[in-house]
Amino acid sequence: MQLWERLARSLVGSSILDFFRRAPWLTRRRLIVYPKLFLAVYLVSAIAWLMSSKGLVDPAGHPIGADFIDPWSASWLTLHGAPAAVYDVARLWSVERWAVADPAVGFAGFHYPPMYLLAILPLALAPYVWSLLAWTAATFAVYLGVMWKIDPERDALWLAIAFPGAMVNLTNGQNGFITLGLLGAALLTLERRPILAGVMFGLMSYKPQYGVLVPIFLISTSASLESPPRTIDHGRWRAIGSASVTVVLFAALSLAIFGEQSWRAFFTSVSFTRHVVLEQGGSGFEKLQSAFAAARLWGFSVATAYSFQFAVSLVTVSALIWICRRTAKFELRAAALATGILLATPYMMDYDLVVLALPIAWVAMEGRRSGFLPWEKSLLAFVWLLPLFARSLAGRAMIPIAPLAMLLLMADIARRAQLPAPARG
């Protein structure tokens, strides 16, 4: 009996391990077919969702394009001479309810600095529905343009279109495509046009939490790895300079146009955002996908959650610096920054997982070029699917898988960075 048990365990164990270690099931043919199947499911689901909605409100009581309602309403208030009112709960909520003609619709806060008002100002020039359609088309085009520039293969583009992170952002009407577009374009132009790259890094300040790692990345990649002697890449410092100037000008322009009151109202609202949305999970800890939110979801105190996030952020920063100093490969450095940006902040929502399209693409390109490492294809498939179930798994089973998945992706990038020569597995 023991012999049969050992034999069965050996056969099952080896087949399962091999299934994930080499991922023989993840063939090129399947990578061509699967994205189109996903898109078909998305389409059927979207039609059913829209047909069961009442007017501009979905079956769950949220506006169609749930997270688009607050920038559109902020635009409307600003166009009507009240930019500071976008941080006033009562006034913003009043416009949101009017926009979708439903007095029972829930409140969606505007948590961005006044600089973002410059980008969204034209939204309310059109009615809500038409503005949402235009916003969706324009930002999705930005996303596809950057992904096509990274990997100009038709099959890769289908994977980008069907990426669940893109669908989460798309159905929410969010700005994750803009974040990805600015970050991806900045990294793609950094070597040739560092000043332009710095401008795009600076424009990311509309989400200031995602700019913290950028100067660390630029400084870490500023010195050549060839020694002796080590030369300094002055382009990196030009990028830092142009990014700094862009942030200052961006803020100054918003101050000049929208006035001092808008900035005062924003700084006053920061404590509300931190306490209600982040620390108390006003949007739901399952919607937040950070290490901080994972700790809060498990019932830890706010102080413990911040400590947990600090530890993860410290590991992330250390890994980013190590990767940038260990390898000169652009794909690995860029993938580490994109992954690290999401890991290092406590305030990261499920729709921001669309940014993972960048490291997935860059690591996959490196794998195609030099051979995939053991477990790597399975990990990339898992991270690709992550936005599809991250929120529901955290909400229903209290398993916040996103931070762990991103840490594993960062570890895989570090594993590649330490290879002295292409390794195949």
Residue 15 lies in a domain: no
Residue 25 lies in a domain: no
SS3 2: helix
Residue 12 lies in a domain: no
Chain-centre distance for alpha carbon 146: 14
Total tally of structural domains belonging to the chain = 1
Residue 48 lies in a domain: no
Specify whether the CB–CB gap between 371 and 354 falls below 8 A.
Answer: no
Residue 46 lies in a domain: no
Q: What is the distance between the alpha carbons of residues 376 and 413, in angstroms, rounded to a whole number? A: 10
| pLDDT in 10s for each residue of the chain, 425 residues | 455 455 445 544 567 777 788 888 888 888 899 999 999 999 999 999 989 998 889 888 889 988 999 999 999 999 999 999 999 999 999 999 999 999 888 899 999 999 999 999 999 999 999 999 999 999 999 999 999 999 998 889 999 999 999 999 999 999 999 999 999 999 999 999 999 999 999 999 999 999 999 999 999 998 766 544 455 677 899 999 999 999 999 999 999 999 999 999 999 999 999 999 999 998 889 999 999 999 999 999 999 999 999 999 999 999 999 999 999 899 999 999 999 999 999 999 999 999 999 999 999 999 999 999 999 999 999 999 999 999 999 888 889 999 999 999 999 999 999 987 554 44
Q: What is the distance between the alpha carbons of residues 16 and 214, in angstroms, rounded to a whole number? A: 40
Q: DSSP readout, 178-191? A: HHHHHHHHHHHHTT
SS3 115: helix
Q: Whats the size of the chain, residue-wise?
A: 425
Structure tokens at 217: 């990345």
Residue span of the structural domain in which 314 resides:
111-417
Q: DSSP readout, 194-260? A: HHHHHHHHHHGGGSGGGSTHHHHHHHHTSB-S--SSPPB-HHHHHHHHHHHHHHHHHHHHHHHHH-H
Residue 53 lies in a domain: no
Peptide bond into 215 cis (omega under 30): no
Question: What number of other Cβ atoms are within 10 A of residue 421's Cβ?
Answer: 5
Residue 77 lies in a domain: no
What's the pTM? Answer: 0.92
Question: What number of other Cβ atoms are within 10 A of residue 63's Cβ?
Answer: 26
Q: What is the distance between the alpha carbons of residues 88 and 109, in angstroms, rounded to a whole number? A: 9
Specify whether the CB–CB gap between 264 and 114 falls below 8 A.
Answer: no
The pLDDT assigned to 14 comes to: 60
Q: What is the CA radius of gyration of the chain?
A: 23
Name the amino acid, one letter, at 329.
K
Q: What is the distance between the alpha carbons of residues 164 and 150, in angstroms, rounded to a whole number? A: 19
Residue 325 lies in a domain: yes
